[in-house]
Amino acid sequence: MKYPADAGQFCFVDGAELVETPDPRIGQTIAGRYVIEEGIGEGGMASVYRAKHKLVDRPCAIKIMNPALARDKVVRERFRREAKSAQALAHPNIIEIFDQGDTEDGTAYIVMELLRGRSLADIIGKGALALARAIPLMIQMSRGIARAHDLGVIHRDLKPENIFVVERDDGSDLVKLLDFGIARSRTDSRLTNAGELFGTPQYLAPERITSGDAGPNVDLYALGVIFFEMVTGKLPFDAPDVTSFLVKHIKDPPKSPKSLVPTLPDALETLILSLLAKDPKARPVDAHRVESDLAALARKLTIPLPIEVEADPLSSRPPAKTLPNVAVHQWAKRVYVFEQMLSKAFGAGQPQDLKKLLSQLKDMVERVTNLRAQHIAEQRALEEIDRRGREGRQRFGFAVDALGVDASKAKDEVRRAQAEAEKSKESVDAARERYTNAQRELVTWEGRAGFK
């Protein structure tokens, strides 16, 4: 994803670059509801446009698949999965999906919230981040990934280009995770064929490379690479090509973050290196645990925590507006003036054709007035349904978060219990061996005593 030097570019995805050439879709209406206003970005898989919802006059972004790929069932499925995965997650740190479908020419599209900000890649490109900014960003990333994992969705392509940073009204950062195009549900193994390897080499977990495993731990590993990059400005591995990157992920230990930034807190280095562990079982139990460790570190360093999920709006979209002003009342005034003009000009002998036209005009103004009233009532009903739906999704999300935190604590307890059991097993095995040796020696001495 590339952005111009001047700030504030609208987002998007798929390595999108700014659209500089005229696009025939500008001005088109999609699904009878969304009017395309301008191009935002384009890539190999899709183009993204700024648009506006006609009914509620609300800005949004529309991602439209490249028509040349529309016949490819696998690509269409990945495109559909991106909408389905993100739409189901409903979290303040995951981009909100409003709608999806096919255009009249059969091209798939996704409607999502319109973001203004910069990618994390663009921010890191200017150098390592201060902890006061980096840790709140890390916490929000962990929250978003925790929600995805709680609902069985694994991103599989976490990288700074897929993490967008929006500035809130109070100047603080809001993280949005993007591009769930190759995300996989743990209950859906489709599109994961043997020998296929999707993702970005710099952020691939060792088990993705060696066995194709795409469990939640692969996202935790990617978080470790991203965290390393955020606080040091460098990747944990240097390599000249893709193959070398893959080999280093499998075999080489990562650099020590403190070797690059000596002032880095020990606790943060420990967390990053645990996320980068070759063995998935050696990484934190889940993203909730990562968030918990980061929050504890933030409190220790007196860094303000990001706003709690319960208090965070689901999306950054502005509230829906009422229907655009339509000058119905002005036409009513005009009809009245025309009627007065006819009366003064012709008195009682008004021409029949003009009287008929005036009567038709009155009927039309009345119909428009009634239709506008119906539209306003329908819009308010839709807004109420939307409000209740959003509140329901948020309540469900809070419950998922609470259960996820409890499950995370339980996983920690299980891991500690397993560690204790391993220690006990070692002690028992050692005692058994000592007993066996003692028994063997006892038999030996008993035999010698018998001969005597």
> Is residue 179 annotated as a catalytic residue, yes or no?
no
Q: In this structure, what are the phi and psi dihedrals at residue 368, rounded to the nearest 5 degrees? A: -60, -40
DSSP state of 240: S
Q: Coil, strand or helix: which one is 182? A: coil
What's 17's DSSP letter? Answer: B
Q: Which amino acid is at 116?
A: R
How many Å from the N-terminal Cα to the C-terminal Cα in the chain?
90
Marked catalytic residue, from 157, 219, 286, 401: 157
DSSP state string for 265-307: -HHHHHHHHHHT-SSGGGS-S-HHHHHHHHHHHHHHTTPPPPP
Structure tokens at 140: 């929000």
Of the candidates 102, 106, 86, which has an alpha carbon nearest to the alpha carbon of residue 94? 86
Helix (H) or strand (E) holding 242: helix 242-251
Largest CA distance in the chain: 152
- Measured CA to CA, the distance from residue 70 to residue 27 in angstroms comes to 22
- Taking a C-beta distance cutoff of 8 angstroms, is the pair 234, 257 a contact? no
Strand-by-strand arrangement of the 108-112 sheet: 29-30, 34-42, 46-53, 58-65, 108-112, 97-102
CB-based contact 135:298 (threshold 8 Å): yes
Helix (H, G, I), strand (E, B) or coil at 156: coil
SS3 readout for 198-212: CCCHHHCCHHHHHCC
Please give the Cα distance from 346 to 194 (Å, whole number). Answer: 87
Report the amino acid identity of residue 346: F
C-alpha span between 126 and 129 (Å, rounded):
9
The answer to whether residues 398 and 143 touch, using CB atoms and an 8 Å cutoff, is: no
List all residues 6 or more positions away from 112 whose beta carbon is below 8 Å from its beta carbon: 60, 61, 62, 63, 86, 95, 96, 97, 98
Residues with a known catalytic role: 157
